[in-house]
Amino acid sequence: MRSKMIKSGLERVPHRALLYATGIPQTEMDKPFIGVATSFTDLIPGHIGMRDLERFIEKGVHTGGGYPFFFGVPGICDGIAMGHKGMHYSLASRELIADIVETVAEGHRLDGLVLLTNCDKITPGMLMAAARLNIPSIVVTAGPMLSGHHRGRRLNLTSDTFEAVGKYKKGVIDDDELKALEVCACPGAGSCQGMYTANTMACVTEALGMSLPGCAAVPAVMAEKRRIAFASGKRIVELVKKNITPSKILTPDAFHNAITVDLALGGSTNTALHIPAVAHEAGVKLPLETFDIISKQTPHIANMIPGGSHYMEDLYHAGGIPAVLKQLRQLLKPNPTVLGRDILDIADAATVMDSEVIRPMDKAYHKQGGIAILKGNLAPQGAVVKQTAVSKNMMKFEGAAKVYDSEEAAMKAVLAGEITPGDVVVIRYEGPKGGPGMREMLSPTSAIAGMGLSESVALITDGRFSGGTRGPCIGHVSPEAMEGGPIAFIRNGDRIRIDITKRTLELLVSADELAKRQVVWKKPEPKIKRGWLSRYSKLVTSAGTGAVMNSE
- Please give the average per-residue pLDDT across 322-338, as a whole number: 98
Flag whether 13 is in a domain.
no
CATH of the domain at 244: 3.40.50.2300
* Pair (36, 127) in one structural domain: yes
- Between 428 and 167, whose confidence is greater? 428
* Pair (425, 541) in one structural domain: yes
> Over 80: is that where the pLDDT of 324 sits?
yes
Could you say which of 298, 315, 349 is where a domain stops?
349
What type of residue is 231? A
SS3 for 203-242 is HHHHHHCCCCCCCCCCCCCCHHHHHHHHHHHHHHHHHHHH
CATH of the domain at 423: 3.50.30.80
Q: Computed from CA positions of residues 539, 545, 548, 552, in that sequence, does the dihedral angle turn out positive or negative?
A: negative
pLDDT interval class at 450 (50, 70, 90): confident
- Please give the average per-residue pLDDT across 300-310, as a whole number: 93
Flag whether 161 is in a domain.
no
> Over 70: is that where the pLDDT of 175 sits?
yes
* Pair (214, 244) in one structural domain: yes
Flag whether 444 is in a domain.
yes
Structural domain total, the chain? 2
- Please give the average per-residue pLDDT across 121-126, as a whole number: 97
pLDDT tens-digit series, residues 178-205? 999 999 999 999 999 999 999 999 999 9
* Pair (134, 244) in one structural domain: yes
* Pair (336, 379) in one structural domain: no
Flag whether 231 is in a domain.
yes
Flag whether 279 is in a domain.
yes
Beta strand 371-376 pairing with 379-386: antiparallel
* Pair (252, 204) in one structural domain: yes
Give catalytic residue positions. Answer: 466
| Phi–psi pair at 540, nearest 5 degrees | -75, 145
* Pair (330, 448) in one structural domain: no
* Pair (515, 419) in one structural domain: yes
Provide CB contacts within 8 A for 524, sequence distance 6+: 405, 429, 482
CA angle in degrees (0–180, nearest 5) for 143-144-150: 150
Flag whether 306 is in a domain.
yes
Flag whether 177 is in a domain.
no
Say how many residues make up the chain: 552
pLDDT interval class at 370 (50, 70, 90): very high
Flag whether 256 is in a domain.
yes
Residue 99: CB atoms within 10 Å: 16
**pLDDT the model gives residue 309:** 92
First to last CA, the chain: 32
Share of the chain above pLDDT 70, in %: 100
* Pair (330, 439) in one structural domain: no
Provide CB contacts within 8 A for 368, sequence distance 6+: 263, 295, 296, 298, 299, 300, 387, 388
**pLDDT the model gives residue 454:** 86
* Pair (416, 301) in one structural domain: no
> Over 80: is that where the pLDDT of 468 sits?
no
Distance separating alpha carbons of residues 251 and 246, to the nearest angstrom? 9
pLDDT tens-digit series, residues 518-543? 999 999 999 999 999 999 999 999 99
* Pair (462, 514) in one structural domain: yes
- Domain that includes residue 231, residue range: 31-147+189-349
| Phi–psi pair at 313, nearest 5 degrees | -65, -30
Is the preceding peptide bond at 25 cis, omega within 30 degrees of 0?
no
pLDDT tens-digit series, residues 205-241? 999 999 999 999 999 999 999 999 999 999 999 999 9
Q: What pairs with residue 375 in β-bridges? A: 504
* Pair (383, 514) in one structural domain: yes
Share of the chain above pLDDT 90, in %: 91
pLDDT tens-digit series, residues 474-492? 999 999 999 999 999 999 9
**pLDDT the model gives residue 552:** 66
- Please give the average per-residue pLDDT across 433-455, as a whole number: 88
Could you say which of 283, 316, 349 is where a domain stops?
349
The mean of the pLDDT values for the chain is 95
Could you say which of 317, 349, 381 is where a domain stops?
349
Selection from 236, 492, 507 nearest residue 374 by Cα? 507
